[in-house]
Amino acid sequence: MRGDHSEHSFVRTAIGHPAFVTGFVLSALFVALALISFVWTPFDPTRLAISNKLQSPSPQHWLGTDHFGRDMLSMIMVGARVSIAVAFVAVGIGMIIGVPLGLYAAARRGSLIDEIIMRGNDLVFAFPSLLLAIMITAVFGPGAVNAIIAIGIFNIPVFARLARGAALSLWTRDFILAARVAGKGRTRISAEHILPNIANLLIVQGTIQFSLAILAEAALAYVGLGAQPPLPSWGRMLADAQTLISLAPHMALIPGFAIIITVLGLNLMGDGLRDLFDPKLRRGRG
Amino acid sequence: MTAYLLRRFISLSLSLVAASLVIFLVMEAVPGDPASFMMGINADPAAVAALREQLGLNEPLPLRYLGWVAGLLQGDFGVSYTYRVPVSELIAERVMISLPLTLYALALSTLIAFPAGILAAARRNSATDLSVMGATQLGVAIPNFWFAMILVLVFAINLRWFSAGGFPGWDAGILAAMKSLTLPAIALALPQASILARVMRSSLIDTLDEDFMRTARAKGLSRSQALRRHALRNALIPVLTIIGLQFSFLLAGGIIIENVFYLPGLGRLVFQAITQRDLIVVRSVVILLVFAVIVVTFLVDLAYAAADPRLRRRR
Residue A130 with chain B: CB contacts under 8 Å? 252-253, 255-256
Q: Measure the CA–CA gap between B31 and A142, rounded to whole angstroms.
A: 13
Q: Measure the CA–CA gap between B253 and B186, rounded to whole angstroms.
A: 12
pLDDT bracket for residue A7 (50, 70, 90): low
Please indicate if any CB of chain A lies within 8 Å of the CB of B174. Answer: no
pLDDT at position B165 = 85
Instruction: Identify from A118, A135, A209 which residue to disrupt to test chain B contact, counting B C-beta atoms within 10 A and taking the largest count.
Output: A135
Instruction: Identify from B15, B24, B129, B149 which residue to disrupt to test chain A contact, counting A C-beta atoms within 10 A and taking the largest count.
Output: B149
Say if residue A235's pLDDT is above 80.
yes
Say if residue A283's pLDDT is above 50.
no
Question: In whole angstroms, how far apart are CA A120 and each of A70, A114, A157?
Answer: 45, 10, 8
Cβ contact, residue pair A218, B199, below 8 Å: no
Rounded to the nearest angstrom, the gap between the alpha carbon of residue B78 and the centroid of all alpha carbons in its chain is 24
Q: Measure the CA–CA gap between A155 and A213, rounded to whole angstroms.
A: 9
Provide ipTM, 2 decimals: 0.87
Q: For every one of its 315 residues, what pLDDT tens digit does chain B have, with 9 covering 90 and above?
A: 678 788 888 888 888 888 899 888 888 777 667 777 777 777 788 888 887 777 777 778 888 889 888 888 888 888 887 788 899 999 998 999 999 999 999 999 999 999 999 999 988 889 999 999 999 999 999 999 999 999 999 999 899 998 888 888 888 888 999 999 999 999 999 999 999 999 999 888 888 888 888 888 888 888 778 887 778 877 887 788 788 878 878 887 888 899 889 999 998 888 888 878 788 888 888 888 888 888 888 888 787 777 666 666 544
Least confident of A93-107, A172-186, A226-240, B297-311: B297-311
Residue B297 with chain A: CB contacts under 8 Å? 126
Q: Measure the CA–CA gap between A283 and A275, rounded to whole angstroms.
A: 9
Per-residue three-class SS string for chain B: CHHHHHHHHHHHHHHHHHHHHHHHHHHHCCCCCHHHHHHCCCCCHHHHHHHHHHHCCCCCHHHHHHHHHHHHHCCCCCECCCCCCEHHHHHHHHHHHHHHHHHHHHHHHHHHHHHHHHHHHHCCCCHHHHHHHHHHHHHHHCCHHHHHHHHHHHHHHHCCCCCCCCCCCHHHCHHHHHHHHHHHHHHHHHHHHHHHHHHHHHHHHHHHCCHHHHHHHHCCCCHHHHHHHHHHHHHHHHHHHHHHHHHHHHHHHHHHHHHHCCCCCHHHHHHHHHHCCCHHHHHHHHHHHHHHHHHHHHHHHHHHHHHCCHHHHHC
Q: Which residue among B23, B202, B286 sits closest to A285, beta carbon to beta carbon?
A: B202
**Residue A71: helix, strand or coil by DSSP?**
strand
Instruction: Identify from B15, B125, B145 which residue to disrupt to test chain A contact, counting A C-beta atoms within 10 A and taking the largest count.
Output: B145
Q: Measure the CA–CA gap between A203 and A178, rounded to whole angstroms.
A: 27
Q: Between A and B, how many CB-CB pairs are < 8 A?
A: 118
Task: Report CA Rg, chain A.
Answer: 22
Residue A219 with chain B: CB contacts under 8 Å? 143, 145, 256
Cβ contact, residue pair B138, A139, below 8 Å: no
Return the CATH number of A2-285, one of 1.10.3720.10, 1.10.10.60, 2.60.120.10, 2.40.50.1020.
Answer: 1.10.3720.10
Bridge partner list, A185: none
Put simply, the chain B residues between 235 and 294 with a CB less than 8 A from any chain A CB are 248-249, 251-253, 255-256, 259-260, 270-271, 274, 282, 286, 289-290, 293-294
pLDDT at position A143 = 83
Q: Span A219-241, mean pLDDT? A: 88
Residue A154 with chain B: CB contacts under 8 Å? none
Please indicate if any CB of chain A lies within 8 Å of the CB of B29. Answer: yes
Say if residue A282's pLDDT is above 60.
no
Report the candidate in B90, B7, B42, B40 with the shortest Cα–Cα distance to residue B277.
B40
Residue A283 with chain B: CB contacts under 8 Å? 205
Mean pLDDT, rounded, of chain A: 86
pLDDT at position B310 = 65
Say if residue A281's pLDDT is above 70.
no
